[in-house]
Structure formats: structure tokens, C-alpha cells
């Protein structure tokens, strides 16, 4: 099984630049003129698609083993979360909003 999660965007080059700040140097490809795909893990892909009528209404969450390392790397690339949450069980979630307002949540185990 492969997972492809979509972020609908209004400006594909802007979305690509933002995704590169968030994910860093991960494998990526452009299957056509309206999509860009980041491979975030084995069989796990997040893609931006030029769909202005749906932009800003997407939400995805990734759960990582090293949340702190991810946040430090994103900060080094100039991107900080828009908000943070800690659930009753200690699970943490940070939320990044792309330029269109799509939510990319990054979760991690209790500190």
C-alpha cells in the first residue's frame, strides 16, 4: 500500500518552496505541471496540487519518532510551527500552515 495525501494550493511554485522548507532534502518529483510530490517515507507521499477552488481546506498529520529533530531542522530552514498542542496522554502535535492555510500536523511521542 502507498499513501498519497494531497494539499490543494493556489500557487504551485510557492507551495514547493514552502514544502522544501518544511521537509528539507527529501526525494521529490513532479508527475505533471500541476502536482509536486514529496516522498516522506517508504510508500508515504505528500503532494501539492494546483486546485485553487479547494486550497486551504486540507489537513494531514504525520507522526515521527524524532519530533524535536524535525522541528530543529525546519527551524534551520526558516520555518517554525504556527501552533503546538500536548494531549492528555503526553502526545505532542505541532501545526504548520502552508501559504494557503492547509494544515500539516507533525506529531510525536511524549517528551
Q: Is it the case that residue 111 has pLDDT exceeding 90?
A: no
Residue range 7-35: mean pLDDT, rounded: 97
Residue range 41-62: mean pLDDT, rounded: 97
Which CATH number fits the domain that encloses residue 86? Answer: 3.10.180.10
pLDDT of residue 90: 95
Residue range 46-54: mean pLDDT, rounded: 98
Q: Is it the case that residue 14 has pLDDT exceeding 90?
A: yes
Number of domains in the chain: 1
Q: Which domain holds residue 8?
A: 3-108
Q: Is it the case that residue 93 has pLDDT exceeding 90?
A: yes
Q: Is it the case that residue 65 has pLDDT exceeding 90?
A: yes
Q: Looking at 1-111, which runs of residues are DSSP E strands?
A: 3-9, 28-32, 35-41, 44-50, 59-64, 83-86, 92-97, 103-108
Instruction: Let me know how long the chain is.
Output: 111
Amino acid at each position: 500500500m502507498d499513501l498519497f495525501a494531497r494539499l490543494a494550493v493556489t500557487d504551485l511554485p510557492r507551495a514547493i518552496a514552502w514544502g522544501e522548507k518544511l521537509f528539507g532534502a527529501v526525494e521529490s518529483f513532479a508527475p505533471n505541471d500541476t502536482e509536486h510530490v514529496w516522498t516522506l517515507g517508504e510508500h508515504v507521499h505528500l503532494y501539492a496540487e494546483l486546485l485553487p477552488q479547494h486550497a486551504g481546506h486540507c489537513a494531514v498529520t504525520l507522526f515521527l519518532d524524532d519530533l524535536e529533530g524535525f522541528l530543529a531542522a525546519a527551524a534551520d530552514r526558516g520555518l517554525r510551527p504556527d501552533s503546538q498542542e500536548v494531549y492528555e496522554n503526553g502526545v505532542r502535535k505541532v501545526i504548520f500552515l502552508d501559504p494557503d492555510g492547509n494544515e500539516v500536523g507533525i506529531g510525536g511521542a511524549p517528551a
